[in-house]
């Protein structure tokens, strides 16, 4: 498949998953507000370094699974159930929360890169997320697991990780009080994304029958 399409799909799907307020992007924003955007950028680079390995590991894992179609069928069904449950949760169960995100406490101004590395390391969600996404793209014939395609996907994923961090660093102070960052709206956005993924997965499963 065209590298540009793989890159774009990786970028947009990663961007959607990384855009809602969370520990990493809000921490990057707070570092920028308190210490300047350079420190926020250094934190973001640390996050992206770890995300490179996480996304690459997910793609390699997916390549292994692609050689065992019986396992992929089971995983797609499990993924469908999980995403349906997540959709229901964010649309009907999750409530708005007024709790503040973690406030950076590290005193050294030279440790923001390693703080990004550390927080990204303990955030393992990108691995199953990208494993599921790459398996889904491959099942539609939109991606193969050749090394060039994997590198293209990882590159798009890294850019899709960095751009939300960049946007939070430079615009968080302007948007933090607006509805864009309200928990209720974020719940709806996440629920919509997982709902769309659920529908695509269901169609894919039905087409295989």
What are the domain boundaries of the chain? 3-98+108-208
Q: Assign 110 a pLDDT band (cuts: 50, 70, 90).
A: low
Span 43-71, average pLDDT:
88
Non-local (6+) Cβ contacts of 174 within 8 A are none
Distances, alpha carbon 88 to alpha carbons 16, 61, 82, 85, 160, in Å: 18, 28, 10, 5, 26
Q: Assign 53 a pLDDT band (cuts: 50, 70, 90).
A: very high
Q: pLDDT tens digit string along 149-204?
A: 999 999 999 999 999 999 988 887 665 555 444 556 666 766 777 777 778 777 77
Residue 209 pLDDT greater than 70, yes or no: no
**For tokens 């102070």, what's the residue?**
173
The pTM (predicted TM-score) of the whole model is 0.74
């Amino acid at each position: 498949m065209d590298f540009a399409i793989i890159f774009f799909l990786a970028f947009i799907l990663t961007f959607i998953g990384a855009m809602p307020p969370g520990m990493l992007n809000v921490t990057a924003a707070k570092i920028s507000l308190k210490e300047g955007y350079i420190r926020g950028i250094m934190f973001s680079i640390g996050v992206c370094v770890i995300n490179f390995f996480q996304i690459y590991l997910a793609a390699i894992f997916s390549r292994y699974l692609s050689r065992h179609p019986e396992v992929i069928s089971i995983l797609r069904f499990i993924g469908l159930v999980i995403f349906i449950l997540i959709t229901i949760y964010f649309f009907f169960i999750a409530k708005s929360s007024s709790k503040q995100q973690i406030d950076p406490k590290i005193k050294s101004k030279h440790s923001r890169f390693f703080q990004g590395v550390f927080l990204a390391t303990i955030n393992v969600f990108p691995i199953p997320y990208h494993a599921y996404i790459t398996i889904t793209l491959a099942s539609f014939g939109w991606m193969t697991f050749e090394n060039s395609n994997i590198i293209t996907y990882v590159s798009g994923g890294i850019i899709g990780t960095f751009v939300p961090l960049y946007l939070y660093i430079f615009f968080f102070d302007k948007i933090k009080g607006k509805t864009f960052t309200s928990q209720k709206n974020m719940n709806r956005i996440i629920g919509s994304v997982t709902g769309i993924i659920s529908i695509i997965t269901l169609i894919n499963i039905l087409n295989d029958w």
